[in-house]
Structure 1
Amino acid sequence: MTNPSLDAYQQVFGMAGLANRAGGYNGLGIQLQEQLQYDLSFYFNNVPPVKIMGQTTPSTADPSVLPVLGSWELVWGPALIEEKDKKGIPTGVADNALYVVKSESVAFPGGPTLPTYVVAIAATNPSSLYDWETEDFSVAEVVNWTTYNPSNFAPSAYNNTDPYISKGTATGVSILLELISPNNAASPNTTLQQFLAGLHPEPGTAIIFCGHSLAGALSPTLALYLKENKDLNAFGVTLVYPTAGPTPGEAKFADLFNSKFPPLPPGWQQQTGTYQSWNTMHWNDLDVVPHAWTVSELAKIATIYGQATTNMTASILKALQKMAISNSSSSGASYTRIQNQSLPGQLQHTSSSSITIKTPPQTLQDYMLQLSVQHVGMYNGIPAAGTNPPVNGLILPQPLPKPAVKLVPGVTAVTEFEMIMKIISQIIGWISSQYVLVEKENAAQNVEADQ
């Protein structure tokens, strides 16, 4: 078979994006899992049939996919979880998702051709308040990495000696390790660790962990945990390809990850593309998300798209920035990016659904639409729309082929505009809930300074 048009970096990034498909739907957990599995059957071979959608045999990838993405087989999952909110009510969305695929032959740029497994982790679901509150924004408390047990952990005071991760990262990794592949999925009724323990890969086989956004923090952390736990010893090469991620931990954790995961395996040649580095977090410099949680980077987010032209929008963005810095600083740990590579963003003036974006932002909607385009579209490429020409992405030239939309009974699709409005309402709610606390803290600090 001819090599696919996407190189290994791009293939892995594309598969991270496919894990995010569950975030585009509302429904019950079992329905969302079936929807994700059905969607994956367009891209991969041997996806178990989703009988409610009329499938009777394992899938064969669509002919439009093979020349682009190459030939991959689903070997575990997909598994996802629908959490419950503080009142015990199911969220109605996929809060975390994960799957594993395998290819018999992947040509690594500057390296060998190897059998390869990819562990693809879903990003933040924009509609998941649980993701925002419990995983993304939960950075005010930290967890000691040297004693971290995913099944039983608690935050502790930062001692300035050991590596630490955020409570949100610790929670996310714990959830991923608890996910069980369902009865109707690949390698059913197993966790990821159980699946890995049962493998007997050929010598030299590679395994790659990937994820975007929230998963840009979870994928390197999960890979490091499994590596230190000796769950990956059977593999000849272990790599991570995180994108657009916030910092999972502080400086000593970043140093630990960097020491265990150098940018290239021994003997591999560095490539020229800015996106072509393994074990490196790649991020668009106009994307707000990877500016978290380093304080100096957070100080840029209120005006990253220019000074807002209305006082109300400027005030909200300034408050958001102030809250984020306060959360990042409160534990005493200095959040630090793992080894990373910035990619040059480009401001856009229309969204993927052709909504006009004013730049600098006039409203919070303008800011969030720009954020959405920079956080997703600019990495994947933006197709031509109307008189707007296509925009090549920072990693993918253009988005992967898409199947015709066909929904599992009980599942509804979420539009881009609905996602943006949900994000706006959640961020404003978060600012409102935190603002009084921050003002009280500032007042106490001022009194202490006066004394």
Structure 2
Amino acid sequence: MTNPSLDAYQQVFGLACLADRAAQYNGNQAQLQQQLQYDLSYYFNNVPPVEIMNQTEPSTADPSIPPLLGNWNLVWGPALIEETDEDGNPTGVADNALYVVQCDSVAFPGGPTIPAYVVAIAATNPSSLYDWETEDFSVSEIINWTTYNPSDFTPSAYNGSDPYISKGTATGISILLNLTTVETAVSPNTTLEKFLTSLKPDPNTAIIFCGHSLAGALSPTLALYLKEHALLDAFAFTLVYPTAGPTPGDITFAERFNTTFPPLPEGWILQSGDYQHWNTMHWNDLDVVPHAWANEDLQLIAKIYGASTDFFTGLKLDALQKIAIDDGSKSGAPYTRIQNQPLPGTIQSTYGSHSMNTPPQSLNDYFYQLASQHTDLYTGTEDSNGNPLLHGLILPQPIPLPTTNNPLPLVPGVTKVTKDEMILKVINQIIDWILSHLVLSQQENSLRNAETDEVQSF
């Protein structure tokens, strides 16, 4: 069989992008599960039929996919979770999702052609306030990695010697390890850990963990956890391909990951492409997200697209930067990227149908540019007729949507979230985050002033 047109790095990144499909929909957990399975049936073999969508047999990938992406079989999942909000109401979105696929023959550039499994983890769902608050922004408290138990963990003070991860990262790993596949998924009623430890792969098999954005922090952390607990010993190679991720932990944690996962297995040949490194976080240098949470990187985000000449826009962006720096610094742990490779971003003038001013003259300008840099620059873009517009930093063009039944039919009860709705949700989530911090800061100042007045009255 001829090798697919995408190399192994690009295939793995494409698989991570497919995990993000769940974020394109609103619905309850059962509906979202069915929709994600239905979507994945176009790309993979062995996806269980979604009866409500008139499928009767496990899937065979569309003939157009293996020549591009490779011939992958769904072997676990997909698994996703719909969380509840602070009032106990379901969020109506997939807050976390992942799946596992397997291929009998993957040609690794500079390395062997061997079987491989890929654990693909979904990015932040822009519609999920739970993701933003509980996983992405929860960095002011930290968890000691040496004592971390995904089922029971408590923040502790930084001691300056042990490795630490953010509370948000710890929460995300806990969710992923506790997800159990539903009856209608592949390998039903099993956790990821139980599934992986039950495998008896060919002795020369690789396992790869991948994910974008939030999952760019979760995928290396999950791989390290499973590796250190001897749960991946059946595999000859454990690799990680994270993209656009914030820092999962402090400098000692980063060093621990780097030592455990060198950029290339022994004997493999380094390739020339900027995106062609294993166990390395690849990030567009104009993407705001991977600038979190190291202090020196956060100091760049307000003016990353140029200093706004609009006073109020500049004020809000400065507030965003200051709050991010304060949160990232509060624990005392020096957040540090794992080994990483920057990719050269370019300022964009449009995002979908939206024009953007550079430097930004409004928050919309800033966040549309952010969204473009965080998504389109990695995957490439096409026009409405499928013609290339932008060559991506990793994928030349996006993984194609199904060529038949386009737009893709929806499971009853599911609604589609448009690209514009997603970016508006991102803007609103971040504005609410800024406002909540400003209110908290005002409350703390009022409390301090009251305490000062009380002392002075004596």
Deviations 1:42-72 (A, max 9, x none): 0000111111111000001011111100100
1:423 maps to which of 426, 430, 450:
426
CA distance in 2, matches of 1:305, 1:409: 42
CA distance in 2, matches of 1:4, 1:121: 22
Deviations 1:379-404 (A, max 9, x none): 00011469x96110000000011112
SS of 1:223's partner is: helix
Tell me which amino acid in the other structure corresponds to 2:379: N
Taking a change above 3 Å as real, the CA distance of residues 302 and 238 of structure 1, as seen in their structure-2 partners, is: same
Q: Counterpart of 2:410? A: 407
Q: Is the Cα–Cα contact under 8 Å of residues 77 and 188 in structure 1 kept in the other structure?
A: yes
Which runs of no fewer than 5 residues in structure 1 stay unpaired?
A: none
SS of 1:390's partner is: strand
Q: Counterpart of 2:223? A: 223
Matched, 1:358 2:361: no
Tell me which amino acid in the other structure corresponds to 1:363: S
Q: Counterpart of 2:456? A: none
SS of 2:381's partner is: coil
Equivalent residues in 2 for 1:211-290, closer than 5 Å: 211-290=211-290
Structure 1 residue 424: Cα displacement: 1.2
Structure 1 residue 205: Cα displacement: 0.5
Tell me which amino acid in the other structure corresponds to 1:401: P
Structure 1 residue 435: Cα displacement: 1.5
Structure 1 residue 441: Cα displacement: 6.4
Tell me which amino acid in the other structure corresponds to 2:308: A
Taking a change above 3 Å as real, the CA distance of residues 328 and 441 of structure 1, as seen in their structure-2 partners, is: farther
SS of 1:282's partner is: strand
SS of 2:421's partner is: helix
Q: Counterpart of 1:3? A: 3
Matched, 1:98 2:98: yes
Structure 1 residue 361: Cα displacement: 1.2
Tell me which amino acid in the other structure corresponds to 2:299: A
Q: Counterpart of 1:39? A: 39
Matched, 1:368 2:367: yes
CA distance in 1, matches of 2:445, 2:290: 26
Q: Counterpart of 2:54? A: 54
SS of 2:124's partner is: coil
Equivalent residues in 2 for 1:311-330, closer than 5 Å: 311-330=311-330
Structure 1 residue 309: Cα displacement: 3.0
CA distance in 2, matches of 1:438, 1:379: 36
Q: Is the Cα–Cα contact under 8 Å of residues 388 and 397 in structure 2 kept in the other structure?
A: no
CA distance in 2, matches of 1:377, 1:172: 25
Tell me which amino acid in the other structure corresponds to 1:426: Q
Equivalent residues in 2 for 1:125-164, closer than 5 Å: 125-164=125-164
2:438 maps to which of 430, 435, 439:
435
Structure 1 residue 436: Cα displacement: 3.6
CA distance in 2, matches of 1:42, 1:308: 44
Structure 1 residue 34: Cα displacement: 0.9
Structure 1 residue 439: Cα displacement: 5.7
Tell me which amino acid in the other structure corresponds to 2:42: F
Structure 1 residue 350: Cα displacement: 1.0
Q: Is the Cα–Cα contact under 8 Å of residues 142 and 166 in structure 2 kept in the other structure?
A: yes
Identity in percent: 68
CA distance in 2, matches of 1:29, 1:237: 34
Matched, 1:298 2:298: yes
CA distance in 2, matches of 1:441, 1:212: 36
Q: Is the Cα–Cα contact under 8 Å of residues 319 and 431 in structure 1 kept in the other structure?
A: yes
Q: Is the Cα–Cα contact under 8 Å of residues 384 and 391 in structure 1 kept in the other structure?
A: no
Q: Is the Cα–Cα contact under 8 Å of residues 75 and 102 in structure 1 kept in the other structure?
A: yes
Tell me which amino acid in the other structure corresponds to 2:13: F
CA distance in 2, matches of 1:219, 1:89: 28
Tell me which amino acid in the other structure corresponds to 2:356: I
Matched, 1:377 2:376: yes
SS of 2:126's partner is: coil
* Regions of 4+ moved over 4 Å: 439-445
Tell me which amino acid in the other structure corresponds to 1:218: L
SS of 1:101's partner is: strand
Structure 1 residue 182: Cα displacement: 0.9
Farther off after superposition, 246-255 or 25-34: 25-34
Q: Is the Cα–Cα contact under 8 Å of residues 354 and 385 in structure 1 kept in the other structure?
A: no
CA distance in 1, matches of 2:246, 2:90: 26
Q: Is the Cα–Cα contact under 8 Å of residues 64 and 401 in structure 1 kept in the other structure?
A: no
Q: Counterpart of 2:166? A: 166
Structure 1 residue 118: Cα displacement: 0.1
Deviations 1:9-44 (A, max 9, x none): 000000000000000111101111111111000000
Deviations 1:120-169 (A, max 9, x none): 00000001000000000000000000000000001001100100000000
Structure 1 residue 281: Cα displacement: 0.1
Farther off after superposition, 100-109 or 57-66: 57-66
Matched, 1:340 2:340: yes
TM-score by length of 2: 0.95
CA distance in 2, matches of 1:163, 1:440: 33
Q: Is the Cα–Cα contact under 8 Å of residues 127 and 422 in structure 1 kept in the other structure?
A: yes
Q: Is the Cα–Cα contact under 8 Å of residues 365 and 420 in structure 1 kept in the other structure?
A: no
Tell me which amino acid in the other structure corresponds to 1:39: D
CA distance in 1, matches of 2:368, 2:39: 26
Tell me which amino acid in the other structure corresponds to 2:325: I
Equivalent residues in 2 for 1:3-22, closer than 5 Å: 3-22=3-22
CA distance in 2, matches of 1:312, 1:88: 36
SS of 2:104's partner is: strand
CA distance in 1, matches of 2:309, 2:122: 35
Which runs of no fewer than 5 residues in structure 2 stay unpaired?
A: 453-458
SS of 1:195's partner is: helix
CA distance in 2, matches of 1:106, 1:354: 38
CA distance in 2, matches of 1:90, 1:113: 44
CA RMSD of aligned residues (A): 1.7
Matched, 1:114 2:117: no
Structure 1 residue 442: Cα displacement: 8.1
Tell me which amino acid in the other structure corresponds to 1:38: Y
CA distance in 2, matches of 1:282, 1:439: 38
Structure 1 residue 357: Cα displacement: 1.6
Matched, 1:397 2:400: no
Q: Counterpart of 1:183? A: 183
